């Protein structure tokens, strides 16, 4: 009965926060918030290290680990998952990947399999996962659709259209695929808004 009541409580939380489905591992006992991704997470184009994990840390009021690696595909990220994420006792992991797979024309089904492996291993560690969609307009729109399905099936916080309004605004971008610090600050606020209901801090 206690387990059933706990499940109903988590289901209610998910409904109140707008997901419409249960988020897995809301009872996470981890201690770290980790941003795991490619150059967007690393912060290419940010001035003085003011990338999105930096701004997110300010919003949360707690250290956020930046586990971004420029140029990473989902396969390369999977290889370093244990050392860069799982070894840090994750409470919540924000996964931002797929852009380099798209640029290198890696088949979408391969990308999705790698993403799911990453998510499964993080969830097995007991952490909450937030999956980020970096598509903009028609670019990578297929990823957005599949990521949304994956989020519902795996119980993830889904953050769609992260780059909306940034890459078509010269004042917010460093180059054609990377924001500048102003753009990263917007990204941090969007992510914070999505994960805030699930933070225990």
pLDDT of residue 135: 87
Residue 15: per-residue pLDDT: 43
Say what the pLDDT of residue 19 is: 61
Q: How far apart are CA 115 and CA 98, in angstroms?
A: 8
Q: Which residue matches tokens 């699930």?
A: 198
Neighbours of 6 (CB within 10 A): 12
Measure the CA–CA gap between 186 and 111, rounded to whole angstroms.
27
Tokens found for residue 31: 């201690």
Q: What pLDDT, on the 0 to 100 scale, is given for residue 115?
A: 98
Angstrom distances, CA of residue 129 to CA of 23, 91, 167, 174: 9, 9, 25, 28
Residue 20 has what pLDDT? 73
pLDDT, position 4? 42
pTM value is 0.90
29-198 has which fold? Rossmann fold (3.40.50)
User: Which residues does the chain have with pLDDT short of 70?
Assistant: 1-19, 201
* CA-closest candidate to residue 64, choices 37, 40, 38, 94: 94
């Amino acid at each position: 009965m206690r387990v059933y009541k706990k499940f109903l409580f988590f289901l209610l939380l998910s409904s109140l926060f707008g997901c419409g489905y249960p988020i897995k591992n809301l009872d996470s006992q981890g201690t770290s918030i980790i941003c795991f991704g490619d150059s967007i997470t690393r912060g290419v184009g940010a001035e003085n290290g003011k990338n999105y994990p930096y701004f997110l840390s300010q919003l949360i009021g707690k250290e956020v680990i930046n586990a971004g690696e420029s140029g990473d595909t989902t396969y390369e990220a999977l290889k370093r998952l244990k050392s860069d994420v799982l070894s840090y006792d994750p409470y919540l992991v924000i996964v931002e990947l797929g852009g380099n797979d798209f640029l290198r024309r890696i088949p979408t089904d391969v990308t999705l399999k790698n993403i799911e492996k990453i998510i499964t291993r993080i969830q097995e560690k007991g952490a909450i996962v937030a999956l980020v969609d970096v598509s903009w307009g028609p670019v990578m729109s297929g990823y957005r659709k599949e990521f949304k399905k994956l989020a519902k099936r795996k119980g993830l916080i889904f953050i769609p259209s992260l780059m909306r309004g940034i890459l078509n605004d010269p004042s917010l971008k460093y180059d054609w695929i990377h924001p500048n610090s102003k753009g990263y600050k917007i990204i941090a606020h969007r992510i914070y808004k999505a994960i805030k209901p699930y933070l225990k801090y």
